[in-house]
Amino acid sequence: MGDTFDDLQTSYGRCLRQGSFIARFYEIFMASHPDIPGMFRHTDFSTQFLALRRGISVAIAHASGSTLTRRTMLEMAKVHGRHGRAPVSPELYPYWCDSLLRAIAEHDPEYNFALEQRWRKALDRTTNYFIEHY
């Protein structure tokens, strides 16, 4: 059996308990690259916060090889693909990952180098999937 990344689901839960995690991620992400704020010009952030909250859980499950996430991952990849309603250029994914990791580091009191490496491994699997579908 593959890596389940249960430790990441637990870490993510610790982040969410802080309440400001998703908002803080977007603060960091928006400041990470000059092209990013414009991508969210017409975004309803209450909806976006919920979508990201769900999307991170799906990303972790996808990284673990869950077949239950296939449809959701494909839908998200299409949305963020070249012809989707919210295209994301492949070169922007490192900014997304680094912003997420910074927010996790700020919100998970058990965050350390080993956990960061686990997050990177899982996030690489997810962002590579999106890049392949770009």
pTM of the model: 0.94
Question: Domain 6-132 maps to which CATH number in 1.10.490.10, 3.40.190.10, 1.10.10.920, 1.10.260.40?
Answer: 1.10.490.10
| pLDDT tens profile 103-122 | 999 999 999 999 999 999 99
Enumerate the domain spans of the chain: 6-132
Q: First and final CA of the chain: distance in angstroms?
A: 29
Residues 6+ apart with CB under 8 A from 66: none
Give pLDDT tens digits for 64-96.
999 999 999 999 999 999 999 999 999 999 999
- Exposure b/e, 42-60, CB count within 10 A at least 16 = b: eeeeeeebebbeebbbbbb
